[in-house]
Amino acid sequence: MSTPEDSDIDSLEAAYATAPQRPEESTGRIQRGFRSWYRPFVLAHRIPVVKRVWLYVAVMAVYTFIVDYIAEENFPSHVFKEFGAVSATGIILGLLLVFRTNSAYERWWEGRKLWGQLVNDSRNLCLKLRSLDGIRQSEKIRMGELVISFAYALKHHLRNTSPSRPLPGVGVVSEDDAKNLPVVVAGKIYDTFFKWRKDGHIDGYLMLQFDIHTHALMNIAGSCERIKNSPIAISYRAFMRQGIALNLLAMPWYMSQQFSVWWCLPLILTSTYFLIGIELIAEDIEDPFGYDGDDLPLDNICSGIRGTVTQILKVENDSEFTRSMDLPNFDFLKGG
């Protein structure tokens, strides 16, 4: 005999049960899966690194034809027969490239986590600020402008650029202050909180709560500066490029003796495409704060912070914050 409690449990289970999948949903998922695989080939021209790697591939194609002509005219076929053992070095080179790419990606991912933390601390600071009593709305709005301005100041600082107009809440700064604009903005945030503490608007406990987020802003800026100012060791990068260059230069000499140029050319160009491409990707993402398509979309993140803070504190929509560029909000590999 069922009880009312059993009926409630059955109702909850029914409410949280997964709805049956419709045939069109399954078909759509399969189509998205196919698109994610053929789009990298059909839309290869939109891959950021392809815009740079194609020149290396073209040079390698010309070099392969020159090597094939020289080797065929001047050397007997058995001269380079044993030279194919050099291809074993490609395995070592591949392992080094994997380590190189992983090291660069760790820097990119750490930068993304830091900017994600900036989003969270900006929201939390403004949410706590909104619930305060005894502080005029105009002062809360000014603090919201400073929070937004900190994100834009950090973006410009990491890119070695300057805002096209004075940031709201900050105004015109001196040439010395412009060298590290995030410090100036964070200083104004601290000054505002200390003024509220002195005027009795907030007590020591609330001051401590706000200090947690303000302190986090400067920690984020410092960590981003560490990534930007500490590139991967020069010797390591130089040895990697030497290894790639020597491997690619040697490849046509031993392959042309075993295959015709029309058979070895696709193999050589494919190897060139991936070896050079992986190195260029690592070069791009080891400094994730630039303008390239593989860099972090800092403009979009700043715009997101602005939208969230504006929603929380009702910052005036006509406040002018600079944006040096707009990156797309979609990933073309996913078909967005």
Q: Which residue has the tokens 């003024």?
A: 195
- 88 vs 217, residue with greater confidence: 217
In whole angstroms, what is the distance from residue 142 CA to residue 42 CA?
A: 49
Within 13 A of 189's CA, how many CA atoms are on the CB side?
Answer: 29
DSSP state of 296: -
In whole angstroms, what is the distance from residue 100 CA to residue 210 CA?
A: 40
Q: Which two tokens stand for residue 67?
A: 């090597």
| The pLDDT of residue 127 | 92
In whole angstroms, what is the distance from residue 248 CA to residue 253 CA?
A: 10
Q: pTM of the full predicted structure?
A: 0.77
Within 13 A of 333's CA, how many CA atoms are on the CB side?
Answer: 7
Alpha-helical (H) ranges within 75-203 are 89-130, 137-159, 181-198
Domains of the chain by residue range: 46-75+233-285, 105-231+291-314
189 phi and psi, to 5 degrees? -65, -45
Convert the pLDDT of each residue in 16-63 to its tens digit: 444 455 555 556 667 666 666 667 666 666 777 777 888 888 888 898
Question: Hey, which of 37-46, 77-86, 248-257 has the most confident mean pLDDT?
Answer: 248-257
**Dihedral sign, Cα of residue 138, residue 139, residue 144, residue 147:** positive
Q: Which two tokens stand for residue 22?
A: 């419709």
Q: What is the percent of the chain where pLDDT is above 90? A: 27
